Amino acid sequence: MDIIRYRKDVWGEEVILGVSWDLLWVIAVTAFLLLAAHAIFMAALAKKKAMPSAEGKRVHRHDAIDRAFHWIMAGSVLVLIFTGIAPIIGIRVSWLNIHWIAGLVLSFVCIFHTIRALFWQDFKSMLLGPADFKEPFDESIKPGKYSFEQKGMHWAMTVLVVAVIATGITLLLHIDTPWWDRPSVDDEGTLGIWFLLHGTATLGLIAFTAIHIYFALRPEKRFYTRSMVKGWISEDELKENHDTNKWKQD
């Protein structure tokens, strides 16, 4: 199994072509096994706790615009992943235009989200500090608005999405679009490195998207998913999972 694919460039010199798509299967199988193991562990071994009630007073968690951002981002990431891997796994779909348009959508919503988070939201609530790292090991410590896992997921996704966007836009500059024609490529090795980074980031994004979806669907986390749809969690869910002193309501 290869990690990196190499090809001869126009002058016969070996250059990087991109990440090996063998890794796609490695990522898929590994993610599946880990998540399955987690599911089994949770089902068989983890301490069963009563689920907090969704009834009662509702606590606002996400503004509508943020929820919209999330789902647009989720949609564009899923479209990007599907259109990106379809030709690799042999699904015939006219993917390229959808892919880069989805990429642009993702880029715009990320810019929007960044600006909004910086200036209109409690940006600090998502910051991951040293104290957060005690949280997984001490059941008595409850998080503020976002748990350690959520912050970790957020920042992992942030890094991966930024990497995918940055490399994707670089690659976008190398294809025909309504705004520009593709240029000559002087250095195929550099182009290959961009493809390598884009592919590697994509593999990471696939893995973390799978993890994200898995946890979003887990019974004990499903109320977060609901909050991302409806905007609220119940007071019981809040008290069970969060430290209200740390969660500054917007």
Partner 1 sequence: MSSHDVMPEMSLYQPVRVEDAIGIANQFADRGWLVGGGQDTYGWLKDRAKSADALIDLKGIESMRGVKETADGIEIGALVTLTEITKDPIIAQRYPLLAQAAGRVASPQIRNVGTIAGNVSQDVRCWYYRRGLNCYRAGGNLCYADTPEGMNREHAIFNASRCVAVTPSDTGPALVALEAQMVINNASGQRVVAAEEFFVGPNLDIQNTTVLRPGDILTAVRIPSKWANAQFYFEKVADRNAWDFALVSLSAVMRVNNGVIEDSRIVVGAVQATPRRLTEVEQAVRGKARNDSTADSIGDLASRTANPLNYNHFKMPLMDNLVKRALRGQA
Partner 2 sequence: MTYMHIGKDFTPPDVEAKVTGAARYAEDFKKDGMVFARLLTSPIPAGRVVSIDASAALAMPGVLGIFTADDLPEAKPPANPALAKEWVTYIGQPILAVAAESDFLAEEALSKIVVEYQRRPFVVDPLDTLVEGGPDPYPMGNTLIRNSGEAAAGTTASGTDVGRIKWSIDQVTAFRNGREPMGAEFGSEWEYGDLAAQFAACSTVIEEPFVTIGQPHHSLESRTGMAYWENGKCYFHGSLQSHTVGHNALAGMLEMDPANLVFINENTGGGFGSKIFPYPVMAVTGRFARALNRPVQLRITRDEEFYIGSARSGMQGWIKIGLKENGRVGAVDVAIINDAGSGGGGSGSSSAEHISIMFQPEAMRFRGLSLYTNTTPRGAQRGPGQNEMAAVLAPMMDKAANLAGLDRVAFRRTNAPRMDGKIGERQGGISSSYMPEAIDKAAEMFNWQQKIAQPKQISATKVRGIGVGQGFHTAGANGYDGLIRIAPDGTIYLHTGVGNLGTYSYAAVVRAAAEALQCNWDNCVVVHGNSDLNLPHSTYQGGSNTIFTETRSSHVAALDIIEKMKEIAMAEFGGSTADYSIGEERVFLTSDSSKGMSYGEAAQKAIEMGGKYSGMEYPENINATTQRSVQAMAGTGLIGVAKDLLPRSGAVPGMAIAFVEIELDKETGKFEILDYSAVAECGTVVHPQGLSQAMNGGGVWGFGMAQSERHVYDPQNGLPANVGLYQSKPPTYLDVPLNMNTVGMDMPDPQSPVGARGIGEPAQGCAVAALMSAFSDALDGHLFNRTPVTADMIVNHVAQNGFNTGNLKTNTF
Q: How far is the CB of 192 from partner 1 (least distance, A)?
A: 6
The CA angle 184-185-189, to the nearest 5 degrees, is 175
Q: How far is the CB of 60 from partner 1 (least distance, A)?
A: 45
Select from partner 1, partner 2, none the partner in contact with residue 7, using the beta carbon and a kind-dependent cut-off of 5 to 8 Å: partner 1
Report if residue 87 touches partner 1, rule: CB under 8 A: yes
- Residue 11 is classified by DSSP as T
Q: How far is the CB of 172 from partner 1 (least distance, A)?
A: 12
Report if residue 181 touches partner 2, rule: CB under 8 A: no
Measured from the CB atom, the residue of 14 and 250 that comes closer to partner 2 is: 14
Report if residue 90 touches partner 2, rule: CB under 8 A: no
Taking CB under 8 A as the criterion, the residue among 8, 60, 239, 248 binding partner 1 is 8
CA distance 76 to 99: 9
CA distance 198 to 184: 20
CA 198, distance to chain mean position in Å, is 14
CA distance 79 to 102: 7
Q: Is the dihedral of CA 114, 126, 72, 207 positive or negative?
A: positive
Q: Which of residues 8-67 bind partner 2 (CB under 8 A)?
A: 10-13
Select from partner 1, partner 2, none the partner in contact with residue 217, using the beta carbon and a kind-dependent cut-off of 5 to 8 Å: none
Select from partner 2, partner 1, none the partner in contact with residue 182, using the beta carbon and a kind-dependent cut-off of 5 to 8 Å: partner 1
Taking CB under 8 A as the criterion, the residue among 58, 174, 230, 246 binding partner 1 is 174
Helices (H), the chain: 22-44, 64-89, 96-119, 148-172, 188-217, 222-230, 235-241
Q: How far is the CB of 76 from partner 1 (least distance, A)?
A: 20
CA distance 210 to 38: 13
CA distance 205 to 229: 22
Taking CB under 8 A as the criterion, the residue among 44, 48, 57, 184 binding partner 2 is 184
Considering only the stretches 114-122, 158-166, 190-198, 232-240, report the one whose residues sit in contact with partner 1 under the rule CB under 8 A.
190-198
Binding site for partner 2 (CB under 8 A): 10-13, 184
